[in-house]
Amino acid sequence: MLKSLEDAIKYRGLLFLEVFEAKNQEGILSLEVSDGFTWYSNWSLDSGVPPIKSFLVRRIADSAHVFLAIKDAMIVGFAVVIVWPKLPGCKMLEAIEVAKTFRGGGVGTKLMSAVVGNLDDLLILTALPEAGHEEDLLKFYRQFGFIVLTRSEVRPAIMARLPNDLEKLKTLMGSVEKSFEDYSYERFNTKSVLPIWGRRYAPWLNYDYDIFISLEKEIKSILDKIG
């Protein structure tokens, strides 16, 4: 990744495909947007601004991480990472899309490499594939270290990528365990119920706990291996 989107536009013209994290709205507004974005186009609220630009500009205003794949000074792909409020310090891949004519040429891979190369936090995502690409999408995310936490016939797969940093992993384990205790306290007015026997019943009580139980298992297996 080059250092700044603005410098790259100024000095290189961006004839080749490059991926940047956009730090301000001006960078985004100065670029063209390719045709062929369909997935998140209806998330726009601003009339007169192309839907994808409007969505990306809003996310910058919300302090999200916005990664752009740019070719010929045109946005051909993007990935947006926001805060995941359910656990401290965790993030969520909210959106990723490559314009249709650019798919299959490695643009999505470049975007995801920038995301995981720059953000070593717990990253959660909900896999929402196009019809016919269900397995392709899971395979795509697995390449970057994402694992399936929960999946059923009626709910889309929730995937996660754990941080590589050991201290972050331990902190995450602490946060997951604390959330079990907090929930137990909220629900039963005691800290001990959920941590001791309630994990088995937690998914029926609160959907998030399906995710947390699976997360706890994955983190524990890594920490056990490390010793």
Ligand X SMILES: CC(C)(COP(=O)(O)OP(=O)(O)OC[C@H]1O[C@@H](n2cnc3c(N)ncnc32)[C@H](O)[C@@H]1OP(=O)(O)O)[C@@H](O)C(=O)NCCC(=O)NCCS
Interface residues with ligand X (CB under 6 A)? 39, 96-98, 103-109, 127-130, 133, 136-137, 139-140
By C-beta, is 139 or 220 nearer to ligand X?
139
By C-beta, is 129 or 203 nearer to ligand X?
129
By C-beta, is 103 or 191 nearer to ligand X?
103
For residue 124, with 0-12 CB atoms within 10 Å meaning exposed, 13-18 middle and 19 or more buried, which class applies?
buried
Contacts of residue 44, defined as CB under 8 A and 6 or more positions apart, other chains included, come to 50, 51, 52, 54, 55
Give least dist CB 81 to ligand X, A: 12
Task: Please give the Cα distance from 182 to 175 (Å, whole number).
Answer: 10
Give least dist CB 193 to ligand X, A: 35
Q: Phi and psi for 91 in degrees, rounded to 5?
A: -130, 165
Task: Please give the Cα distance from 10 to 116 (Å, whole number).
Answer: 27
Give least dist CB 155 to ligand X, A: 14
β-pair partners for 106: none
By C-beta, is 150 or 184 nearer to ligand X?
150
Give least dist CB 80 to ligand X, A: 11
The 8-class DSSP code of residue 154 comes to: S
By C-beta, is 106 or 174 nearer to ligand X?
106
Task: Please give the Cα distance from 8 to 174 (Å, whole number).
Answer: 41
Give least dist CB 197 to ligand X, A: 35
Q: Which residue is nearest to ligand X (CB)?
A: 108
91-98/32-33 β-pairing: unpaired
Q: Phi and psi for 218 in degrees, rounded to 5?
A: -65, -45
Give least dist CB 128 to ligand X, A: 4
Task: Please give the Cα distance from 218 to 191 (Å, whole number).
Answer: 23
By C-beta, is 72 or 186 nearer to ligand X?
72
